Amino acid sequence: MEKRARNAPYSLAARQEPRLISLMPSVSVKTAAASPAAEKPAPPSQRPAQAFASAFAGAFAEFAKTLQSRALLVTWSASGMTGQVAAPVSFRDRKDFQFSESVASRSADFGQALDEVLNGLRKIGIKPPKTLLLASSFIVPARIDLPINPQKPRPKAQMWALCLAEMETPVSEAGAAWTIGAVLAARGVLTQKTREDVALELSLRRAASSTPCYFGQVACDLGLISRHDLDEALRLQEKLQSLDARLACGWVGRTEDSLDDSVWLGAATALSNWKTWEAAARARRLTLAGALPFALTASETPDETGTRLALEVHAEEIMLTVRTGGRITTCQTENRMGRPLDAQWFSSMSEEWRNRGIEAFEIVCLDAEDTAKLITLRDELAQVWDKPIQFRHPHAAQHTLLKSMARVWRDKTASVFLPRIRFGTIPAPVWKNPIVWRTAAPLLTLCAIGGVHIQQHAAIKQIQARFELENRETEKQANVKKAIMQRETESREFRARLQKDRELLAQLLPEVDRMSEIERMTKRLPGLLRMIAQNIGDDVVLDALRGVRAGRDIGHLQVVGWSSSYTGAQSFALNMQQALAGTGYAVAGAEVKPAKGRMDRNGYQVVFWLLPSAEELDASAGEAQP
């Protein structure tokens, strides 16, 4: 494998908005008037060749853009899952990437968390890719001692056995750090203060009684967590502690010119964890390209040319890594186990490296709760080392993690010195099984005989299928002609029935209008009569109330009254006009004239019509329109 130059430039594109990559190439056509040079026609012998070459080059360029693959980068830990989509800036670029918006899930189940991440990406308008790359704190990294030259590795089965033997101890030691309190703190259910309170209460109960009591039960009794939170933490603790005796592992080796010996890095997790991840990805039509350890990946420095020491401060452990030219040469882990962070601890961990040519010292913070404390410790540790110490915030560490994962996914060479798990187990080669060789010859003979039989049977079937196809086509044409004739007959009958229905409808429409007006008048007549009774004066006599019996004016009412005074007759008409405001009716054609009343008394007759108001008439006209 080729070695990447140490001084090669390396830069990653800043985070940008998610870009949708088209699935099909788009072809753009340029007109002849695009430039003055295009106005001059080319010789007839050169035009077809140039046009073909230009079209082929444009189509190939557009097709190359569609090959820019994308990957879903997922981080999975006890606190939950986060996912982002990564895509290279250009087709051939393996260094610069752009990342989509981050989507997070707090679920403790890997499959459910993956569903929430995929749905979150769809909600923000990003189609999830088919490739999944995972970085998880469930995976334990460690430097392993293998008496093998990395340039000449052994077969995979042998390398698998050697790596398993070396990784059993680091996995068991890392699992011991994940107590139930650590898991609850990582889930964000307990803070450091509440965790200490539960531990104090647990010690008091154990001192006062011989009955076994547990951290989770005490936290439930104090009301700090729910039973659901405890069940989730127990399930995660089982996975983090890798209690399964079988492991899934990965390895990577490198020999550097500046080193006297080879460096091997291993990574392992419980086989049940890997199977869960692989099954969840397969169920959602994703390809699990591999799984990286969360540790080591967050402190990648591929652009470094010197020697750098980094302290990765995780929630429950501290990992010391030494990189030379961006390659890991040493890594060691110490569990925090509730131990407070102090400068003396950091100084003792890094003491042996003070006189080994360390050019840069960096503290990588991966837990936001430790940020303020680590900034203070950085200043104290700088006085001990007598040199400035760099500090990487959790957000920067997360971005570094994404860039490292994208490089592992995109770069197929060994330029990224990180162990990656690609499969759960390595089965023995099939050709090494003697049963296969004993059964191969008879099976090959049977396959040859079966192949000839299948070929002959397929030829017969092909001839029969051709005859059946011709018969179906003939029947289909006859059925089509018959259906056309039947549709034409039905169409003529339907047109005749439609014409008759139109004529009948034209006769019934006037009657329908008259009946509708009668119905409306019937509904409003009681109200009109009450209004007339309420507004008739003491000196007014109602003589008649007439309606129109036919025509469009069938809803009009004529009111005839008599009063001994002109003012009384006029007031009756005015009162009715005011009372009818907003009722849909109005007074029209009011007329007051002298007339004889009952018993030949002199007086005045008042006559007016109760007609639907203009708004009512307009509404009725609007409803009547088709």
- What mean pLDDT comes out for the span 407-428? 76
pLDDT at 621: 37
Q: Is the pLDDT of residue 67 over 60?
A: no
- What would the pLDDT profile of 445-469 be if each residue is shown by its tens digit? 888 898 898 999 899 999 999 999 9
Q: Is the pLDDT of residue 336 over 90?
A: no
More confident residue, 242 or 101: 101
3-state secondary structure at position 495 = helix
Answer for the pair 379, 363: CB distance below 8 angstroms, yes or no.
no
Q: Locate the domains of the chain by residue range.
A: 71-189+225-410, 449-515, 523-624
pLDDT at 56: 67
Mean pLDDT lowest for which of 5-9, 454-458, 490-494? 5-9
Distance CA 585, CA 556 (A): 10
- What would the pLDDT profile of 130-149 be if each residue is shown by its tens digit? 999 999 988 999 988 888 88
The per-residue pLDDT of the chain, averaged, comes to: 79
According to DSSP, the β-strands at 97-99 and 80-88 are: antiparallel
CATH number of 71-189+225-410: 3.30.420.380
Q: Is the pLDDT of residue 375 over 70?
A: yes
Tokens of 124: 């923000």
Distances (CA, A) of 208 to 201, 211, 218, 221, 353: 11, 9, 14, 16, 47
Distance CA 619, CA 420 (A): 77
pLDDT at 15: 34
Question: E-assigned strands of 449-570?
Answer: 540-547, 557-563
Q: Which of 34, 73, 28 is nearest to 55 (CA)?
A: 28
Task: Provide the CATH topology of domain 523-624.
Answer: Alpha-Beta Plaits (3.30.70)
Own/partner pairs, 343-347, CB within 8 angstroms, 24+ separation: 343/377, 343/380, 343/381, 343/384, 345/318, 346/311, 346/318, 346/377, 346/381, 347/381, 347/384
Mean pLDDT lowest for which of 234-248, 254-268, 381-395? 254-268
User: Would the CATH topology of 71-189+225-410 be identical to that of 523-624?
Assistant: no
Mean pLDDT lowest for which of 176-180, 269-273, 471-475, 477-481? 176-180
- What mean pLDDT comes out for the span 277-290? 92
Q: Is the pLDDT of residue 69 over 90?
A: no
Q: Is the pLDDT of residue 608 over 90?
A: no
Distance CA 398, CA 312 (A): 12
pLDDT at 118: 94
Q: Which of 324, 24, 289, 6 is nearest to 131 (CA)?
A: 289
Q: Is the pLDDT of residue 332 over 70?
A: yes
- pTM of the predicted model as reported, rounded to 2 decimal places: 0.58
325: left (phi over 0), alpha (psi -120 to 50) or beta: left
- H-helix segments, 536-601: 566-579
Distance CA 424, CA 432 (A): 21
- What would the pLDDT profile of 15-54 be if each residue is shown by its tens digit? 333 333 333 233 333 333 333 333 444 444 445 666 767 7
Q: Is the pLDDT of residue 431 over 60?
A: yes
Q: Is the pLDDT of residue 515 over 50?
A: yes
Answer for the pair 5, 95: CB distance below 8 angstroms, yes or no.
no
Share of the chain above pLDDT 70, in %: 82
Answer for the pair 582, 595: CB distance below 8 angstroms, yes or no.
no
pLDDT at 49: 65
Q: Which residue type occupies 414?
A: A
pLDDT at 18: 35
